Amino acid sequence: MTAAAAHADVSAGVAPATRACPACGGQESRALPRYSTPRWQIVECANCRFVFLRNPPVYERMVEEFAWEKTRVVERQRRKEARPTLMQIDRGTRWRLGAFKPQRRDLYRSLFKPGRVLDVGCGKGRHVPPPFVPYGIEISKALYEKAAAHMAKRGGQAIHGPASEAIATFPDRYFSGVVLSSVVEHELRPLQLLSHVARVLEKDGKAYIRLPNFGSFNRVLGGGHWCGFRHPDHVNYFTTNSLRSMAADAGLAMKLLHPIRTPFDDNINAILTPMAKH
């Protein structure tokens, strides 16, 4: 089956709703056909210029039908069919993505104090290393079940549900660290999620955030073939400016981890810390 056929199958019967700008709530937007497909409409807010998917699937469809582990396979096949030579080069040079970058576990140990760490969009729940107590949120039912079993053995807990809703169940100042790796781009209510991150973090806690960099040179050069596009589960497209602005609205200060290389990086890597309340 081709990627196009698989995508048609997985989209059959879906009636996605349209949404206002998730950054400012604006109703007016400008179509970006270069980045859209006949099915999925990427737009730019007429008010704040935030870029987002206007007609995403409802959350219930993300549990199984549009679960990340499924759409990832479909998207990889689509790219292989569209640009086979480029994909072959990419597969053969994947080592470059880890060059000069710390391992994820070492990064967390360097950023977070000992204590409870929440991994939002935790997958199978194995990213948070000892000595931290792992907590997680996962919308994919299959992945959540694996995460729940693993985290329980280490004294933690996983919750099944949309990130912006599930995180509301945790108490204030409960975590020394929060991980937001490859998750905010999937979230229908990213401002609500980040506001809860500011609430659940300890006053001197930190959140690590990683998401596709819509402001990268690769996106400008690659256009609709840029690796950061994945329909329909990437529903928000951030630049460093738009991420900093939304974080501030949520009560979080942002600091880039790699400011010099960020314009050339397909991802934004940053630290978020709670702002002092006056």
Kindly state the helix (H) or strand (E) to which residue 69 belongs, with its residue range: helix 68-82
Nearest partner of 37 among 3, 85, 73, 84, judged by Cα: 3
Q: Contact at 8 Å (CB) between 139 and 161?
A: yes
Tokens 């870029």 belong to residue: 51
Q: Contact at 8 Å (CB) between 117 and 138?
A: no
pTM above 0.85, yes or no: no
User: Alpha carbon of 201 to those of 16, 105, 119, 131, 177: distances in Å?
Assistant: 33, 19, 12, 18, 7
Phi, psi of 253 (to 5 degrees): -90, 145
Instruction: Give the amino acid at 96.
Output: R
Nearest partner of 205 among 106, 271, 142, judged by Cα: 271
- Full pLDDT tens readout for the chain, 278 residues: 333 333 333 333 344 568 999 999 999 999 999 999 998 999 999 999 999 999 998 766 555 555 555 555 555 555 555 565 544 544 554 444 444 455 788 999 999 999 999 999 999 999 999 999 999 999 888 899 999 999 999 999 999 999 999 999 999 999 999 999 999 999 999 999 999 999 999 999 999 999 999 999 999 999 998 989 988 889 999 999 999 999 999 999 999 999 999 999 999 999 999 998 74
Topology annotation, domain 102-274: Rossmann fold (3.40.50)
Beta pairing partners, 218: none
User: Alpha carbon of 3 to those of 14, 35, 82: distances in Å?
Assistant: 18, 17, 10
pLDDT value of position 232: 87
Structure tokens at 153: 């053995």
- In whole angstroms, give the CA distance from residue 6 to residue 247: 36
Nearest partner of 132 among 143, 146, 122, 140, judged by Cα: 122
DSSP three-state, residue 187: coil
Q: Write the Ramachandran bin of 60: left for phi over 0, alpha for psi from -120 to 50, otherwise beta.
A: alpha
Q: Contact at 8 Å (CB) between 21 and 50?
A: yes
DSSP 194: H
pLDDT value of position 87: 47
Domain with CATH 3.40.50.150 in the chain: 102-274
User: Alpha carbon of 87 to those of 91, 93, 96, 195, 213: distances in Å?
Assistant: 6, 10, 14, 38, 20
The separation between CA 115 and the C-alpha centre of its own chain, rounded to angstroms, equals 24
